[in-house]
Amino acid sequence: MVSDCIFCKIVAGEIPASKVYEDDHFLAFLDISQVTPGHTLVIPKRHARNLLEMTPDETADLFNIVSRVTKKVEGATQPQGMNIISNMEEIAGQSVFHTHVHILPRYSQEDDLKIDFIAHEPDFEHLAQLAKDISNH
């Protein structure tokens, strides 16, 4: 437990949360700011800064629970679609530095979640080089 971590405090029961799922290793609870109704966070109980600090096996176990909880949220809220997002570091919008995955039901394109993918013209030479660099890492 990291003493100044708000999500460690939720795991320890030191501050309250609206829990929707809990087992020995994971916890899911409603995000306090409800960007859309049903906005839920899934966290590992063991503190890690974000997904970049977790092993592939730990992340796989986390996403097993994300899948289960996503289906529970979908069943309860009946949205038209959903987003699953995990922010890593401040530049990517991370504000709580204990790994969490956002589950966001979507009801309308005019709701309060804004994600813009600005498309660019493909540069196939660059794509080939980049793919090589990534696959060799």
* Size of residue set near ligand 5GP by CB under 6 A: 12
Would you give the binding string for ligand 5GP spanning residues 22-61, x where CB under 6 A is met? -------xxxxx----------------------------
In the residue annotation, 100 being an active-site residue is answered as yes
92 vs 128, beta carbon nearer ligand 5GP: 92
Q: Which is nearer to ligand 5GP, 17 or 51 (CB)?
A: 17
Q: What is the 3-state secondary structure (H, E, C) of the chain?
A: CCCCCHHHHHHCCCCCCCEEEECCCEEEEECCCCCCCCCEEEEECCCCCCHHHCCHHHHHHHHHHHHHHHHHHHHHHCCCEEEEECCCCHHHCCCCCCCCEEEEEECCCCCCCCCCCCCCCCCHHHHHHHHHHHHHC
Site string for ligand 5GP, 83-102 (x = CB under 6 A): ----x-----xxxx------
Q: Which residues bind Zn ion (CB under 5 A)?
A: 2, 5, 7-8, 47, 98
The residues assigned a catalytic role are: 100
